Amino acid sequence: MTYKVKFVDPAKGYRSIKEEIDAAYFEVMSKGDLIDRGQLKSFEKNLAAFVGTKYAVGLNSGYDALHLSLRAAGIGQGDEVIVPAHTFVATCSAVVNIGATPVLVDVGKDFNINVDEIEEVITDKTKGIIPVHLSGYMADMPRIIEIAGKYNLVLIEDACQSLGSSIVDQKSGGRRQEAEIRDQGSETRGKKKMAGSWGLTGCWSFYPFKILGGYGDGGAITTDNRDVAMFATQMRYNGEDRDTGEYHGHGFTCLLDNLQAAFLDVKLRHLPEWIKRRKEIANRYRTALSDISDLLLPHYDRLGFDHVYQNYTVRSKQGNEFSEYLKKNGIEVLTQFRKPYYKHKALKLEDSGFPETEVLSREVCSLPMNTEITDEEVEYVIKTVRSFYNK
Ligand SMILES: Cc1ncc(COP(=O)(O)O)c(C=O)c1O
């Protein structure tokens, strides 16, 4: 089906920065710089600076970032790792595939792990927590860090959906970005600490539809820990230290392509202006739709928590009826995830009951949110949503 308003429009996105992308392509191709060259190093340096960590290591996917982070932390057989019940399945699969047991925790109204329920599931076997910053909004990291500290747990951030988001950390010290945050009309002075700089690692996906998307798969970890950065750098290349030729373990083939790195480096330069545009669109949706009582909008108004709107996920009491109406009227929407991952039989996970995840799974609907969308298209989405509720 051709939609009047697309969920994302990669071709239009390409056209908007065509000259820069084409120049990056010709530079890589004309030199034959395909594997682990300057473009990868440059992107890693710029990504680390953007996130505020000492290191970034380019990988093949967000899944690889999670997988290598768990291995770097020494987590494996017999260990338990806490993950949210509402996330993309890869968060959980990375835990299963290293031989550990995922322990699911329900989410709260903001779609992120419900911090009040974390301590209830901690056992002697618990070794780590993977909070997911879903849709561009961070999990409550100040509280999660406290819990991780109390029980000596490794913290790995699944930040795949939240590049550019942040929380003002009142207690922060060290390498953090000073910022003056203006929120809800009041002014808070604090240190803005970016997603991906709180845990042992931050895990990133550059899947094409992400806020920073490549033209194929890609991922990275960010970290302040030199040993972890070194481990990932070797393991992504089958365990080899490329300077000495020494193998440091049985590794994997999961290096970020140099060509993708060159494209991502171009796009990273535009990210701050793209996030600004996403926030404008979110504000427009909020102004126009917040009076509809059957529609819950993703504006949580927590002081110091910055939403970058990777997705603009609303909750409609009318569930499929609402999402199908939008589609029928030419608006491409996503309904991730109508069926929670733990309900898929082949994954052999225990469904111990996650009430919030159950309800939101029936209600979620992500409206078009991308930097290519025009004001007219946004108005059309608003008009169509309103017409559904005025029926
Ligand atoms: C929350 C979350 N975790 C993990 C992943 C996995 O990333 P990738 O698809 O790059 O492996 C994604 C992306 O799809 C994601 O959204």
Ligand 1 atom nearest to 217, measured from its CA: 10
Mean of per-residue pLDDT scores for the chain: 95
What is the rounded distance in angstroms from the CA atom of residue 61 to the CA atom of residue 293?
Answer: 39
Mean pLDDT of all residues in 359-387 = 97
Ligand 1 atom nearest to 207, measured from its CA: 10
Mean pLDDT of all residues in 63-74 = 98
The verdict on the CB of residue 157 being under 6 Å from ligand 1 is no
Alpha carbon of 310 to ligand 1 centroid (Å): 12
What's residue 176's pLDDT? Answer: 41
Task: Give the pLDDT confidence of 160-208 residue by residue, as tens digits.
Answer: 999 999 999 877 543 444 444 444 334 455 789 999 999 999 999 999 9
What is the rounded distance in angstroms from the CA atom of residue 276 to the CA atom of residue 272?
Answer: 6
The verdict on the CB of residue 91 being under 6 Å from ligand 1 is yes
Residues 6+ apart with CB under 8 A from 60: 217, 218, 219, 236, 253, 254, 255, 256
What's residue 172's pLDDT? Answer: 57
The verdict on the CB of residue 60 being under 6 Å from ligand 1 is no
Q: Is 374 exposed, middle or buried (0-12, 13-18, 19+ CB in 10 A)?
A: exposed
What's residue 177's pLDDT? Answer: 44
Residue type, 159: A
247 DSSP assignment: B
What's residue 169's pLDDT? Answer: 82
The verdict on the CB of residue 90 being under 6 Å from ligand 1 is yes
Residue type, 251: G
| Count of other CB atoms within 10 angstroms of residue 227 | 9
Q: Is 93 exposed, middle or buried (0-12, 13-18, 19+ CB in 10 A)?
A: middle
Q: Kindly report each contact of residues 282-287 with a partner whose C-beta sits within 8 Å and lies 24 or more positions away, as own/partner.
A: 282/307, 282/309, 282/312, 282/369, 284/375, 284/378, 284/382, 285/312, 285/367, 285/378, 285/381, 285/382
Alpha carbon of 311 to ligand 1 centroid (Å): 13
Task: Give the pLDDT confidence of 293-339 residue by residue, as tens digits.
Answer: 999 999 998 999 999 999 999 999 999 999 999 999 999 999 999 99
Alpha carbon of 89 to ligand 1 centroid (Å): 8
Ligand 1 atom nearest to 206, measured from its CA: 10
pLDDT at 374 over 90: yes
Alpha carbon of 54 to ligand 1 centroid (Å): 23
Alpha carbon of 132 to ligand 1 centroid (Å): 10
What's residue 391's pLDDT? Answer: 79
Sign of the Cα pseudo-torsion (100, 106, 107, 108, in order): negative
Look-up of token digits 């481990």: 231
Look-up of token digits 């494996």: 76
CA atoms within 13 A on the CB side of 130: 36
Ligand 1 atom nearest to 219, measured from its CA: 10
257 DSSP assignment: P
303 DSSP assignment: T
What's residue 78's pLDDT? Answer: 97
The verdict on the CB of residue 131 being under 6 Å from ligand 1 is no
What's residue 174's pLDDT? Answer: 38
255 DSSP assignment: B
Ligand 1, atom 7, lies closest to the CA of: 62
What's residue 179's pLDDT? Answer: 43
**43 vs 26, 49, 87, 185, CA distance in Å?**
17, 10, 27, 35
From 59, 96, 161, the mutation candidate for ligand 1 (largest count of ligand atoms within 8 A of CB) is 161
Q: Is 163 exposed, middle or buried (0-12, 13-18, 19+ CB in 10 A)?
A: buried
The verdict on the CB of residue 282 being under 6 Å from ligand 1 is no
Q: What is the pTM of this model?
A: 0.95
Alpha carbon of 217 to ligand 1 centroid (Å): 10
Angle at 59 between CA 141 and CA 273, to 5 degrees: 60
Alpha carbon of 90 to ligand 1 centroid (Å): 6
What's residue 338's pLDDT? Answer: 95
Alpha carbon of 193 to ligand 1 centroid (Å): 22
Ligand 1, atom 5, lies closest to the CA of: 62
Task: Give the pLDDT confidence of 130-170 residue by residue, as tens digits.
Answer: 999 999 999 999 999 999 999 999 999 999 999 999 999 87
Angle at 25 between CA 22 and CA 29, to 5 degrees: 140
| Count of other CB atoms within 10 angstroms of residue 263 | 25
Alpha carbon of 62 to ligand 1 centroid (Å): 5
Place 42 in a pLDDT band, splitting at 50, 70 and 90.
very high
